Chains A and B, each alone.
Chain A
């Protein structure tokens, strides 16, 4: 019971602190940490969800009003949470290692980018495009469907592959999609090549909401929907069949699990989440080009799933949050801070930081620090932050 007041106090104080120091990264991290505490602490369920709802629906947009960059971070977190949850189905539940997952995100993004911008006029001729803003909502579902179909198309040729072989083929598939996006500007200009597509229409916002807040709320809504879908799938015969395939494919087949259908379903479900978020991403960014869909992005999402704990929904959520915040805030903030020290001419143990060669600039080590964190994590907690726990059933005896 002692945790309840602590949770309330933590959230309230950290929110207050963010309002007082809207520029401090540390304080914003404290706010995020307090949400993590609320998420895991032993407090009544009602209080937990109430606090999280207040924090995400009221406090976060308010913070964003003072510092729009934080809202941008939160929206990015939302996008990556959905991606991690989608990949979690494929990798975590069904055990199919997919190294080209970002391809589905690209498919969703390009489906709205092409039709939601004047670019489609080049393909079809005439002046019919861009489509009106409200089509965006239709395209959320179009992106979902297109990505799901792409997932099935990827799934068909790789059905017989396992482990390393599957990973290599999916890696290739991810690259194929990116290279297609890069080169499909001739003979018919579908993607405008490396120059990318812009301007992409945005939907009209309700209640005159600013776009920052609008995309934050939309991302939050989609994430909630994705979590619900994910939980329902996991806790059904479909989820059990996926896990059976992961545990022992041969035994699963012998027990009556239709392997082809279940694998394709896993690819399609995982891909569809990425497709929806791709549509949102392209509208939010207004501009997309193939650079947003590199192999490194696929690896990043995989790192989120593994860091959080494979096959675990809370794990995927927390993993995505940690990695995104680490990349967008902590490592960048660290770099900025050291640069400030350098510019101020601070000396440590008689060594002036200003003499530090540019090769040692921390900004250049973001990836390395991230890599070290991943390695340490795999050594000391290989099961992830929140490993999957088996559901304990209440059994009437």
Chain B
């Protein structure tokens, strides 16, 4: 049986720079992490998966449906949603409005329903609001539903972005460094939350993360990228002891600390 999500031979070039070179990735359930040094191509991979970039080669399938060439909103409607490395909330909208925007692809109301405010409109709007409150509750932001996103503290903004992504009812969630800038305690709490989501909503998650403690603790599988190529894949423990991975992060054994400075 094919995997829920499968990427094969994904290649992306920016001019002369090959950002990704023939990357394969398959995800079925649980949390799959992607790690690698800065500039390894992790975020580029996410941008291709969500339709923001067009890949030069390769294929990406989700539930046997080809994703490459689809628009971002179509991909979201299919059940893939993401967060951003540098939080991209709708800064001047309230927390609950941010979550409501996330539901856009699940709303079937038409312009006519909005203009006439028929019973269907009122029913849908109150259902949406109730679901949004539920999601805010889930990430611990119930008290700040009416606060404008720009005024939320940093950690809350990260969690709001998670709630907004969940609002589109994804089967696959792509999280780009969700614990960046968090304390170890906040990061652990977030990982606990993610574990809960995987269990309750049967979510699959692809996680880009730099916090190694988090990665090793929470991941079912780890993929390591370096210079746009996959250099290792496997259970956290296997990857941790992989020679090439250690090399990518720390440099060649015996070659001195500056061996990779040209990279």
Contact = CB atoms under 8 A, between A and B. Distances in A.
Contact of B114 (A233, A244, A251, A393): A233
A393 B82 CA distance: 26
B18 interface: no
B115 A240 contact: no
Interface string A246-283: 01101111111111000001000000000000000000
B100 A237 contact: yes
A344 interface: no
B201 interface: no
B36 to A, nearest CB: 22
Interface string A209-230: 0000000000000000000010
Nearest to A392: B146
- Best-buried of B72, B93, B145, B164 by chain A (most CB within 10 Å): B72
A160 interface: no
Nearest to B148: A390
Interface string B32-51: 00000000000000000011
Contacts of B8: none
Interface of A is mostly: helix
Contacts of A248: 88-91
B99 to A, nearest CB: 10
Interface residues of A, number: 30
Contacts of B164: 255
B260 interface: no
Contacts of A252: 90, 101
B101 A257 contact: yes
Contact of A251 (B88, B109, B128): B88
Interface stretch (B73-81, B179-187, B214-222): B73-81
B146 A255 contact: no
B1 interface: no
A232 interface: yes
A113 interface: no
B111 interface: yes
Give the interface residue-count category, chain B. Answer: 35 or more
Interface string B104-131: 1111010100110100010001001100
A258 B117 contact: no
A236 B122 CA distance: 10
Contacts of B106: 256
Contact of B100 (A240, A250, A254, A259): A240
Nearest to B93: A243
B133 interface: yes
Given A233-B114, A255-B104, A257-B73, A244 B93 contact: yes
Interface in B137-183: 142, 145-146, 148, 164-165, 167-168
A392 B89 CA distance: 18
A257 B50 CA distance: 13
Contacts of A238: 111, 114
B94 A390 contact: yes
B65 interface: no
Nearest to B76: A256
Contacts of A254: 50, 52, 72, 76, 81-82, 84
B71 interface: yes
B129 to A, nearest CB: 7
Given A236-B109, A238-B114, A258-B73, A244 B129 contact: no
Closest 5 CB pairs of A and B: A256-B105, A256-B76, A247-B90, A251-B88, A253-B72
Interface of A: 229, 232-233, 236-238, 240-241, 243-244, 247-248, 250-259, 265, 390-393, 395-397
Given A243-B92, A244-B101, A257-B73, 14 more contacts: A233-B114, A238-B111, A240-B104, A247-B91, A247-B92, A254-B52, A255-B167, A255-B168, A256-B76, A256-B77, A256-B168, A258-B71, A395-B96, A397-B142
Interface of B: 50-52, 71-73, 76-77, 81-82, 84, 88-94, 96-97, 100-107, 109, 111, 114-115, 117, 121, 125, 128-129, 133, 142, 145-146, 148, 164-165, 167-168
